Structure 1
């Protein structure tokens, strides 16, 4: 019986991996279909919407032919997906540059801001969540709960404006806007990246903190934790060795969701701090109806969510080995 169980374990893992891969591929299929259909959702002719009412029939016909707006949807979709697989997302209507090169040029800024925001949120949420979860109802717990409730109600643009006033205009510690790439040095880069990342983290930290606090409080009531306490193990060791690890599973999922949301929704912060990221690119492309760039951004966000979900699955197997056999 034990041998059969061991032999079935690899097959179960392969089946689980196949189901997850099928689910992620289905998501990508739906997203690519929706992105390709953006052309058909534009009222009237996409070329007229892009060029404006003063465009001549010849200019409209040339743009339709150049970008395939006049082709049937199935043909256009298959051609676009074929280019997507090979890394060819077409050319921007505005600049004429390859869409993929334009997105990859902007991606590092948004990616860094999102990662920094999640990192700052976790640096604050993990120690406070563990401490307040282990002392529910204590003075610090009440203070942190009240502060998190207040922070959750602050829109990101308000947090950004307050941070600019306090840490840029008043003290001059940080620049109001602009960007320095990593090639200029880590110190210069973080000098520009810190305030936007904190502005994003202000709204995300309370949710992560509350989630971990509740899970820690629930885990502390488990029998294995009580057994560890009766063995005389130090409280700090119990919290960070026996309690934090199982309590961190929902936190990993939430952090991944937060990262995906920040990657897709950094428009406000990037416009406020004048950052050359994907949010700024979206702000330029949407009013100009630059459909190839908009399609590329939609697919990028979908791929990011798929990749993040795959990493979450891997993280689960590391944090909780029991999930490997499910």
Structure 2
């Protein structure tokens, strides 16, 4: 066995260790920031939550129950220990376990985010490839102008227009509410479609323009010209030789979009009255429900970490050359 063959696994192992260290550092900083939410509140957290009418006994009871009166290092280690065992405390509003409350609402936001990313990719990939292959042509001009127009439309405006056109006017989809998967896939998708499309309207142009630019650059590569001189069909060249290397930045951006939608679908969930994480955040922040807010912050951080790991794995599938780097 050659020295190069022996060195390759070491390089991959070192790269994996650096990734793991980076992701752990991100989680450490996020958990520190989430635990410090109590100390960032002006005055006593219990007084801010219970209001000016609270008695000293009520304030002392809440301090003891939620640990607001303990030093930050003790409170942080306690909270992280609970996090590792799945205990994020109890909601100040409902008294229910935070983890259970979040997991109850997570499927709604998760489904909407996944559907939005899926719709965005279904539109962006073929249009990005064909417009990049015909730069300056009629299709490219129409697609580029359409993408620029869609980028200027706020999510809530897209949602209102979709409600008017596809819910109020035609009655094809419900105006608001939610049907779980237990009610049937068709009924579930009827409620999920409009919110997902509203989110996709804002994300599709970004993915499309990114892929178009990478396709234009990839088409100038020598291996693409070689494939064309061999007489391979144009469509085969575009989707076999051009799309795979051009899709690497697209995969990264799609992962970023998914994390952003999971964390920031508040407007759409409010507009369509969805019982997701956005609605939970809207309830918890004004009520100063610190345990729930902390749980949401950590969930978003863990999601980003997991998505980044999946993106790294996706790179090795799309471009095997990255395995040796």
TM-score of the superposed pair, with normalisation by structure 2? 1.00
Q: Aligned partners of 2:11 and 2:147: how far apart in 1?
A: 42
The within-5 A match list for 1:38-187 is 38-187=37-186
2:219 is the counterpart of 1:220: yes
Offset of residue 115 of structure 1: 0.1
- Alpha-carbon offset, residue 107 of structure 1: 0.2
- Alpha-carbon deviation of 1:109? 0.2
| Secondary structure in structure 2 of the residue aligned to 1:97 | coil
Is 1:303 aligned to residue 312 of structure 2? no
Aligned partner of 1:319 in structure 2 is 318
Secondary structure at 1:180 match in 2: coil
Where structure 2 has 5 or more consecutive residues not aligned to the other structure, the ranges are none
Distance 2:10 2:182 in 1: 47
Deviation at 1:128, TM superposition (A): 0.2
Partners of 1:232 and 1:7 in 2: how far apart?
A: 40
Structure 2 Cα separation of the partners of residues 235 and 174 of structure 1: 39
Q: How far apart in 1 are the matches of 2:321 and 2:121?
A: 24
Q: Structure 1: how far apart are the matches of 2:280 and 2:2?
A: 57
Note the aligned Cα RMSD (angstroms).
Answer: 0.5
The separation in 2 between residues aligned to 1:191 and 1:169, in whole angstroms, is: 14
Query: How far apart in 2 are the matches of 1:65 and 1:38?
Result: 17
Q: Which residue does 1:250 correspond to in 2?
A: 249
Distance 1:155 1:298 in 2: 24
Tell me by how many angstroms 1:271 deviates: 0.3
Give, in whole Å, the separation in 1 of the partners of 2:85 and 2:11: 33
Cα distance in 1 between the residues matched to 2:298 and 2:126: 36
Structure 1 counterpart SS, 2:135: coil
Deviations 1:144-179 (A, max 9, x none): 111110100000000000000110011111000000
CA shift at 1:137, angstroms? 0.4
The normalised TM-score by structure 1 is 0.99
1:290 maps to 289
Residue 16 (structure 1) shift = 0.5
Instruction: Give per-residue Cα distances to partners, 1:125-148, cap 9 Å, x unaligned.
Output: 000000000000000110111111
Q: Secondary structure at the match of 1:40?
A: helix
Alpha-carbon deviation of 1:10? 0.8
Would you identify which runs of 4 or more consecutive aligned residues in structure 1 move more than 3 Å? Answer: none
Q: Deviation at 1:83?
A: 0.3
Count of matched residue positions in the alignment of Structure 1 and Structure 2: 325
Of 5-14 and 286-295, deviating more is 5-14
* 2:132 alignment partner, SS class: helix
Structure 2 CA distance, aligned partners of 1:294 and 1:38?
9
2: distance between equivalents of 1:223 and 1:11?
32
The Cα shift of 1:74 comes to 0.2
1:294 offset after TM fit, Å? 0.1
The Cα offsets for residues 237-265 of structure 1, whole Å up to 9 and x where unpaired, read as 00000000000000000000000000000
Q: Secondary structure at the match of 2:142?
A: helix
Give 1:237's aligned residue: 236
CA-to-partner distance for each residue in 1:271-303, whole Å, 9 max, x for gaps?
Answer: 000000000000000000000000000000000
CA deviations over 1:64-89 (Å, ceiling 9, x no partner): 10000000000000000000000000
**d(CA) in 1 for partners of 2:67, 2:308:** 34
Match of 1:20 in 2: 19
CA distance in 1, matches of 2:146, 2:222: 32
Asked if 1:259 corresponds to 2:266, the answer is no
